[in-house]
């Protein structure tokens, strides 16, 4: 069949499914409300108003109706042949939908659902829906069942916030289709690929009514159906059997990165807190983002972006393997940092303790293993050093075009690892605290990487006379190592700042007078100290040359003469003076302007107060140090005293 005709058929099926799903979903919602199938707000759920369930009925009905039309018109190739190929997936998918529908009406036990899912997955695998990751057929069979059941439950767990599960399913379906297009596969060659436009249309039609604020939920009949269908189609896609072993295993995981990551985080954290993995709760990635301070819409958009990024990395395996490996390493690092950051968010009741807190022996072992020994940091650096060295060779020799390059790489890799790790230890890389890493630590990173490369070169010269080695490789390796070392150490700080920027802070809009170092200190305090109730909107400064410049992402909005306009435009309620020395003329102008505009005026004072017995906060900090606690425990108490803001004053009592 001609490619243009295939695209035309795919577009017709997509828009047909989208239109039918968009019109059918409200009707299903009204029917569900009449039947009393309404999700009532509960403490462990997210929605705040009663919302109809059974949106999965509209998705499934749309999907099967459009698929039937495509089969009757012969748009999947020969009708009988296509129907025979699709029958196992369509029949088992319908059975999974009925299982979810039964659960929506009868509330099945987790064990019953799991057994039924394993049976349906086994039937699907029996008819050839397998992932060909390894040589062993037995291993592939078991992994195929695990993959289908895992993805089915992953999308079920992901259905915890408006539009999240449906949106991620649409993103995964899009990248499955895009991967097939890049490989030149046609819908007539495999009818399973022809199902993806229908799947996308049905899901997006439903998503129009499921995005925040949702007017209908898909229920288990929808989430189980979506996960099962996507898992089945992915086993027939080129994504599951393309290229070398690493992309074969990693590419599908990247396409389904968010469901996998969410399921892993929930499973680990609930196990740590002795909670049932099968029970619902507000401890998913989306809920943790909201606990940080993001609103529901922004939390879902962040997770959409995470899914798109994972799918884009998977697509690179069809374009360039070297680029795929580099992007995959960065994505894995980002995923780990992201999950570790979210795992630190407290979402369980304050009195509920984890296994580490309940078992003192485990706590001691964990602290010794992670913090004293720095095992995780060393393991990460081993991976990053090896990867950067491999990538340097890959870039220098243009995809290993020189047959002698790879043996040189393998032979010298142990030397590189030993020399670089020894240099990192000698330069004090493992004495830093990641979340307090700043650009001022870059000099130490440069020294450590440079020392590692120089020592490596020296050893290779004496051991191998540097025969066959390329100086260009080590120049590239130096740059890549510096980027990886600094990037990994700055990752927590950058991620936290990124999430903080997305948070809609509640408080009084505030201008900061002084686009200088003191202004930066004040900005940091306003951003990190929510108790002040002040939300920075930008800077003002006496110097005209600083206008329109940015400090830490916040713009210098104007000078003193712009204050009235800025107050009206941004609803400014307070102005904080960060500059230490200002002229009497400027002080009078600010005071007069603030009094006329009804704006509170403050001065930021920076001071170090002595520890006294009358200050319990400072006593606690001193005790923490005396108990040989880490500096991370002591510093926050002192930091709260480093900047002093007077209490809110009336406009008539402004004081400079």
Binding-site residues, please? Answer: 156, 220
- The closest alpha carbon to 218, from 171, 166, 267, 255, belongs to 166
| Location of structure tokens 């990994």 | 488
User: Given the DSSP bridges, would you call strands 600-603 and 534-540 parallel, antiparallel or unpaired?
Assistant: unpaired
Two structure tokens written together for 415: 């030397």
Decide: helix, strand or coil at residue 512.
Answer: strand
| Location of structure tokens 């992953």 | 154
d(CA 417, CA 423) in angstroms, rounded, equals 10
- Annotated binding-site positions for Mg(2+): 156, 220
Asked whether the beta carbons of 164 and 298 are under 8 A apart, the reply is no
| Alpha carbon distance, N-terminus to C-terminus of the chain | 79
Q: How many helices (H) and strands (E) does the chain have?
A: 24, 10
Asked whether the beta carbons of 371 and 435 are under 8 A apart, the reply is no
Asked whether the beta carbons of 300 and 162 are under 8 A apart, the reply is yes
d(CA 46, CA 37) in angstroms, rounded, equals 17
Residue 214 to residues 32, 209, 223, 297, 520: CA-CA distances in angstroms?
A: 15, 6, 15, 11, 41
Directed axis angle between helix 191-210 and helix 219-236, to 10°? 150
Residue 645 phi, psi dihedral angles, 5° rounding: -110, 130
Strand partners, 606: 643
Alpha helices in 317-404 (DSSP H): 321-343, 355-358, 360-367, 375-396
Ramachandran quadrant class, 465 (left: phi over 0; alpha: psi -120 to 50; beta: rest): left
């Amino acid at each position: 069949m001609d490619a243009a005709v295939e695209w035309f058929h795919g577009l017709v099926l997509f828009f047909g499914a989208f239109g039918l799903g968009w019109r059918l979903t409200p009707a299903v919602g009204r029917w569900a409300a009449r039947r009393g199938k309404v999700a009532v707000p509960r403490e462990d759920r997210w929605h705040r108003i009663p919302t109809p369930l059974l949106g999965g009925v509209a998705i499934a009905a749309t999907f099967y109706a459009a698929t039937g039309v495509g089969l009757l018109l012969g748009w999947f190739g020969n009708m009988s042949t296509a129907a025979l190929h699709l029958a196992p997936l369509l029949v088992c998918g319908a059975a999974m939908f009925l299982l979810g529908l039964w659960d929506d009406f009868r509330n099945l036990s987790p064990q019953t659902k799991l057994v039924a899912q394993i049976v349906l997955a086994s039937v699907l695998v029996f008819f050839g829906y397998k992932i060909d990751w390894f040589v062993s057929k037995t291993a592939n069979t078991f992994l195929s069942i695990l993959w289908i059941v895992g993805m089915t439950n992953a999308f079920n767990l992901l259905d915890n916030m408006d539009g999240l599960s449906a949106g991620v399913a649409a993103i995964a379906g899009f990248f499955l289709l895009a991967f097939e297009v890049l490989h030149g596969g046609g819908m007539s060659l495999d009818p399973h690929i022809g199902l993806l436009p229908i799947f996308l249309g049905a899901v997006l039609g439903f998503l129009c009514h499921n995005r925040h604020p949702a007017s209908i939920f898909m229920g288990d009949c929808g989430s189980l159906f979506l996960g099962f269908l996507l898992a089945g189609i992915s086993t027939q896609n080129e994504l599951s059997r393309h290229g070398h072993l690493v992309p074969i295993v990693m590419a599908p995981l990247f396409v389904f990165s968010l469901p996998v990551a969410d399921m892993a985080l929930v499973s680990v954290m609930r196990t740590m807190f002795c909670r049932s993995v099968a029970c619902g709760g507000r401890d998913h990635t989306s809920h943790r983002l909201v606990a940080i301070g993001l609103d529901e819409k922004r939390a879902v958009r962040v997770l959409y972006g995470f899914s798109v990024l994972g799918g884009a990395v998977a697509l690179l395996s069809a374009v360039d393997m070297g680029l795929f490996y580099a992007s995959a390493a960065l994505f894995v690092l980002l995923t780990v940092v992201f999950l570790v950051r979210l795992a630190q968010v407290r979402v369980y009741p304050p009195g509920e303790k984890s296994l580490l807190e309940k078992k003192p022996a485990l706590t001691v072992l964990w602290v010794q293993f992670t913090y004293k020994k720095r095992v995780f940091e060393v393991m990460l650096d081993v991976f990053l050093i090896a990867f950067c060295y491999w990538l340097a060779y890959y870039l220098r020799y243009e995809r290993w075009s020189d047959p002698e390059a790879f043996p040189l790489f393998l032979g010298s890799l142990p030397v590189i690892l030993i020399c670089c790790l020894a240099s990192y230890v000698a330069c004090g890389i493992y004495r830093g605290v990641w979340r307090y890493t700043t650009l001022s630590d870059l000099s130490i990173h440069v020294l450590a990487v440079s020392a590692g490369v120089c020592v490596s070169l020296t050893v290779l010269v004496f051991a191998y006379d540097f025969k066959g080695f390329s100086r260009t490789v080590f120049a590239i390796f130096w740059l890549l190592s510096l980027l990886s070392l600094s990037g990994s150490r700055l990752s927590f700080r950058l991620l936290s700042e990124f999430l903080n920027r997305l948070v809609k802070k509640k408080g009084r809009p505030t201008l900061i007078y002084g686009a200088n170092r003191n202004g930066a200190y004040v900005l940091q305090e306003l951003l990190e100290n929510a108790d002040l109730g002040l939300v920075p909107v930008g800077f003002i400064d006496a110097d005209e040359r600083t206008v329109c410049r940015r400090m830490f992402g916040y713009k210098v909005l104007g000078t003193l003469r712009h204050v009235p306009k800025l107050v009206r435009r941004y609803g400014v309620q307070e102005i904080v003076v960060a500059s230490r020395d200002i002229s009497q003329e400027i002080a009078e102008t600010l005071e007069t302007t603030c009094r006329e505009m009804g704006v509170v005026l403050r001065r930021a004072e920076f001071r170090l107060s002595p520890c006294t017995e009358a200050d319990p906060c400072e006593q606690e900090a001193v005790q923490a140090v005396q108990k040989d606690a880490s500096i991370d425990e002591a510093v926050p108490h002192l930091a709260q005293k480093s900047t002093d803001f007077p209490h809110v004053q009336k406009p008539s009592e402004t004081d400079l």
